[in-house]
């Protein structure tokens, strides 16, 4: 049951740039928000190294450091944070009920800023060798591959970024991409193409990660999608960088979303299909997906929630 202790004017689900910016704005509007951290406190920037494209940091800043600053800034104005994961949401009536492992809280408004998580290839060998040479985070695991040979799967900015970062440790990094053209931005492409430690395997997919019987990655089985040729190559590590899926399972069937699971918001706002529920950041943006755009939509969600509460108060 909602009480003075467990009821908040604004509950924010997620603590990446979107969630913490929403917290900063709503706390400065004296709405005493609660941020529920979620599975990855701090979001995807916690597993990023140098962030060179967040305005205000001319020398760049480390992802975890940026998130630490955002959290402290939100807390300075009275944001409360809870290190828990949402298990169930009741959006059928207000205040909205948010059930977590450690109990329930209630929100007069709700801001969904639950972000997105890395995709995997879906191979059984990949699952078995996760943490044993298979990773989706070069920042977290690159250090273990000093002077080793590794592959990065994918052709987007993430794959280029992971590969470039891995060259700090690995002797050789091979990017395996399923087409003969990269999706990555020109500047990121150039950086990897120019790097003498990086080479490319085009038109190729990883059919199997080898080494299950040894409990460590020993190589990859690669299939050329044009010729059909299958070949095994020795490698010490596999980094998967093939995009992301929004963390919106908890609102599935409760909020309108697109076919990929991104929450639909009304244009020029963060309003969802349920009045009083707002969505921001990667949970609703499948296109820009930048820290700065996430922060921007977090600010929008905060303003939308504040207006919603104000209008409601005016009606009463
Ligand atoms: P992405 O742009 O969606 O690229 C995913 C890549 O993985 C694509 O090349 C795709 O191939 C490949 N792929 C997808 N599923 C696959 C599968 N099952 N098997 C093999 N390959 C597969 O994702 P992202 O690289 O994570 O980037 C996401 C967003 O974040 C982008 O907007 C990007 O600009 C941004 N980002 C920016 C930076 C930066 O500026 N510093 C860094 C990282 C990410 P196809 O090309 O054939 O579809």
What is the model's pLDDT at position 45? 86
Phi-psi region of 38 (alpha: psi -120 to 50; beta: other; left: phi over 0): left
Residue 306 has pLDDT above 80, yes or no: yes
Average pLDDT, the chain: 95
Measured distance CA(293)–CA(175) in Å, rounded? 28
Examine residue 233 and state whether it is found in any structural domain, yes or no: yes
Same-domain status, 235 and 254: no
The answer, yes or no, to whether residue 165 has pLDDT greater than 80, is yes
% of the chain at pLDDT higher than 90: 86
Classify residue 211 as left (phi > 0), alpha (psi -120 to 50) or beta: left
Longest alpha-carbon distance in the chain: 70
**Is-catalytic flag, 316?**
no
User: Does 266 lie in the same domain as 228?
Assistant: no
What is the extent of the structural domain holding 49?
7-117+244-315
CATH number at residue 163: 3.50.50.60
Residue range 198-241, pLDDT digits in tens: 999 999 999 999 999 999 999 999 999 999 999 999 999 999 99
The residue from 137, 157, 203, 207 that is catalytic is 137
pLDDT digits (tens, 9 = 90+) for 272-294: 999 999 999 999 998 888 899 99
Q: Total domain count for the chain?
A: 2
The encoded tokens of residue 275 equal: 């009045």
Mutation test residue for ligand 1: of 242, 246, 289, the one with most atoms within 8 Å of CB: 242
Residue 280 annotated among the catalytic residues of the structure: no
Interhelix angle 17-28/291-315, nearest 10 degrees: 40
Q: Which DSSP state fits 216?
A: S
- The Cα–Cα gap between 46 and 68 comes to 9
Contacts of 17 (CB under 8 A, 6+ apart): 43, 45, 66, 67, 70, 281, 291, 292, 294, 295, 298
Same domain? For 18 and 111 the reply is yes
Query: Could you tell me if 143 and 227 lie in one domain?
Result: yes
Spell out the residues 6+ positions from residue 117 whose beta carbon is closer than 8 angstroms to its own.
39, 40, 244, 245, 247
Q: What is the pLDDT of residues 1-50, one digit of tens each?
A: 888 899 999 999 999 999 999 999 999 999 999 999 998 899 988 866 67
Rounded Cα distance, 316 and 308, in Å: 13
Residues 125 and 236 in one domain: yes
Query: Angle formed by the axes of helices 157-166 and 186-194, to 10°?
Result: 30
Mean pLDDT (whole number) for 108-121: 95
Does residue 1 lie in a domain region? no
Does residue 141 have an active-site annotation?
yes
Please tell me whether residues 36 and 18 are part of one structural domain: yes
Q: pTM higher than 0.85 for the full model?
A: no
CA–CA separation, 175 and 239 (whole Å): 9
Q: What is the pLDDT of residue 238?
A: 98
Residue 154 tokens read as 């994918």
């Amino acid at each position: 049951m909602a009480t003075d202790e467990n009821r908040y004017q604004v509950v924010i689900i997620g603590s990446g740039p979107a969630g913490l910016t929403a917290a900063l704005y709503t706390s400065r509007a004296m709405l005493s928000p609660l941020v529920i951290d979620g599975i990855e406190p701090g979001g995807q920037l916690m597993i990023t190294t140098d962030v060179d494209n967040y305005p205000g940091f001319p020398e760049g800043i480390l992802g975890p450091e940026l998130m630490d600053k955002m959290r402290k800034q939100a807390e300075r104005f009275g944001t409360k944070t809870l290190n828990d994961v949402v298990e169930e949401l009741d959006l059928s009536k207000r205040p909205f009920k948010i059930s977590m492992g450690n109990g329930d809280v209630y929100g007069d408004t709700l801001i969904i800023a639950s972000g997105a998580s890395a995709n995997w290839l879906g191979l059984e060998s990949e699952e078995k060798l996760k943490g044993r040479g298979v990773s989706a985070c070069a920042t977290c695991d690159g250090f273990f591959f000093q002077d080793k040979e590794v592959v990065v799967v994918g052709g987007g900015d993430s794959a280029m970024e992971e590969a470039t970062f891995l060259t700090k440790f690995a002797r050789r990094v091979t990017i395996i991409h399923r087409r003969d053209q990269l999706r990555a931005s020109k500047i990121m492409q150039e950086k990897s193409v120019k790097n003498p430690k990086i080479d490319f395997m085009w038109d190729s997919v990883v059919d199997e990660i080898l080494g299950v019987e040894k409990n460590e990655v020993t190589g990859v089985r690669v299939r050329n999608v044009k010729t059909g040729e299958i070949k095994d190559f020795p490698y010490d590590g596999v980094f998967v960088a093939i995009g992301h899926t929004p963390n919106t399972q908890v609102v599935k069937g409760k909020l309108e979303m697109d076919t990929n699971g991104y929450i639909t918001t009304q244009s020029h706002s963060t309003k969802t299909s349920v009045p009083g529920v707002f969505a921001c950041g990667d949970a609703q943006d499948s296109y820009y997906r930048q820290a700065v755009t996430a922060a921007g939509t977090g600010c929008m969600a905060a303003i939308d929630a504040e207006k919603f509460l104000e209008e409601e108060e005016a009606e009463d």
